[in-house]
Amino acid sequence: MAVSCLVYRLAPKIPLCPLTPTSSTPTSPNNAPPSLPLPLPPLSPHPPLRLPLPLPLRLLHPLLRRRHRPLVRRHPHPAPCRRYFARFPPFQNSSSDLYHSFLHLTLGLADRAQSHLRRLGSRCQSDAERTAWLDCWRLYTNAALQLNRTLSRACSPLDSQTWLSAALTNLHTCRHGFAELGASPALIRPVIQYNLSDLISNLLAVNNATPATPATPGWMMTLSHQRRLLQLASSRPDLVVAQDGSGNFRTIKDALNAAATAKQSGRRGSGTFVIYVKAGAYSENLNVISGLSNLTLIGDGIGRTVITGVFADGFMATGITFRNTFGPGSQAVALLSASDRSVFYRCSFEGYQDTLCVFSQRQFYRECDVYGTIDFIFGNAAAVFQNCNIFVRRPRAGESNVITAQGRSDPNQNTGIVVQSSAIRAAPEFVPVERAVRSYLGRPWMQYSRTIFVRSYIDSIIDPAGWLPFNGNFALSTLYYAEFGNTGPGSRLSGRVRWPGYHLIARASAIKEFSVGRFIAGRTWIPSTGVPFSSGF
């Protein structure tokens, strides 16, 4: 049973030959579109913005012409600069001023685009259009939330880059969702004309942050962090879920609803809300909403507490199995995570195709097991897998296996998949046929796909080429794939692909930007969870 979640309908992925296209797992028995989220926000009192025609730079404000013309021209999408600054108040003397001017402009347009999109719902003429429109409305709502978060004074440049990257991922997912569902994109064409994707891409280019927190190679958690994790597991939880009725609730969904009510009413502060889920198989469709920040789910261990199919910041799960029981014939997501600063410790993710969707923002996986066949770790988060086991399962006859399909669509997004100090092995069911099936580390789902394998054990199941093209020469010169310090029979580099975007790394210092300490700024937030980690290579 698949989790009912809007972003299952992501950009269509070309199947591995001779795999034939299959329909997505239905989200409900009758495949009806999901119901509208309630309550809907009120319509904006402003009419849709009439976009001015592009103007040459010489006609814009003199300050823009003299000082910022080079900056504007260096943007990935300079046309919106010329178009919108014709009506936008002039800014001051630095790229920082330019960034904030663009940010406020983009926020205003996002608000109007969201209101415009909501009004388009009445024009849906089929279930496919209504489902795609509803997904877009939710994605635009979340994109506006991400943009607003960057206004906080406590927001660092890395935070801004993370949230802008998430907003851009949302917009791309909306657009591709119509194609995935076979709906006409004409419905949302008026909203696309707001050029939000181009404006956010420009914001990413101007901000272009690198993590300010330096890495300390070999840093591991202290005894106090270990003690905190043990205290969290043994302390009295806020709520208990048990199928036998011995807890507060019998279902996780009811517990999540109660937690949301407690947080919204103010009865609980901003601290961690802990839900203990006793052993059992919970066949539920869960959605950890964005308002449920700092939520921790604690289970009884891998294989004992099983959830068959999160947007909340600070989400943490430990000792839980996320399982999709749908077979290898189609997309079967066990978990979709869009939670910033989320941690998964000693969890298991079990499925076949598209098992784990690391959709967006910063995510850390430690001592976890991931099972799958095709693209079973995919998405556009900044995700690090440390000390994990990645198990390749037996696919359908004639298919190949691919572990990762990273979805970075803009060169300035601070996203990617990093697999560090982990093991890539054959699942028991795959061992009898592993010599007859080709398996790969990854393929480029999007133009700037970025994946790194560092100091991991790679079994002989991986093809000597290591990596697989997605569709002909697509993205082979713009992707960033790298390997460093790996071991095992599948780690030999002599037969690897020779793409322009593939890199053989000789020194750890060359990829230090992808360490936990720098890539996801892990030292600033993982210690508070008590989960062990190494911040460097």
Residues assigned a catalytic role:
375
In whole angstroms, what is the distance from residue 233 CA to residue 218 CA?
A: 26
DSSP state of 43: P
The CA angle 529-316-455, to the nearest 5 degrees, is 75
Reported in sequence order, the residue ranges of 351-508 that DSSP labels E, i.e. its strands, are: 356-358, 362-366, 369-372, 374-379, 382-386, 389-392, 401-406, 416-420, 423-426, 439-442, 450-454, 457-458, 480-484, 502-504
Which DSSP helix (H) or strand (E) runs through 298? Answer: strand 295-298
* Helices marked H in 182-287: 189-192, 196-207, 223-234, 252-265
In whole angstroms, what is the distance from residue 208 CA to residue 146 CA?
A: 17
363 forms beta bridges with: 342, 383
Please provide residue 416's backbone torsions phi and psi, each rounded to the nearest 5 degrees. 160, 175
In whole angstroms, what is the distance from residue 135 CA to residue 167 CA?
A: 14
- Is the Cβ–Cβ distance between 175 and 188 less than 8 Å? yes
Beta strands across the sheet bearing 450-454: 239-241, 273-277, 295-298, 316-318, 342-345, 362-366, 382-386, 416-420, 450-454, 480-484, 502-504
CB atoms within 10 A of CB 18: 9
Burial class (CB in 10 A: 0-12, 13-18, 19+), 432: exposed
CA distances from 129 to 26, 50, 90, 94, 371 (A): 16, 26, 40, 44, 33
The CA angle 493-440-327, to the nearest 5 degrees, is 160
With a CB cutoff of 8 Å and minimum separation 6, the contacts of 49 are: 108, 109, 112, 194
With a CB cutoff of 8 Å and minimum separation 6, the contacts of 63 are: 90, 91, 92
Each as own residue / partner, the long-range contacts of residues 492-496 (CB below 8 Å, 24 or more positions apart, any chain) are 492/464, 493/466, 494/464, 495/464, 495/465, 495/466, 496/464, 496/465, 496/466, 496/467
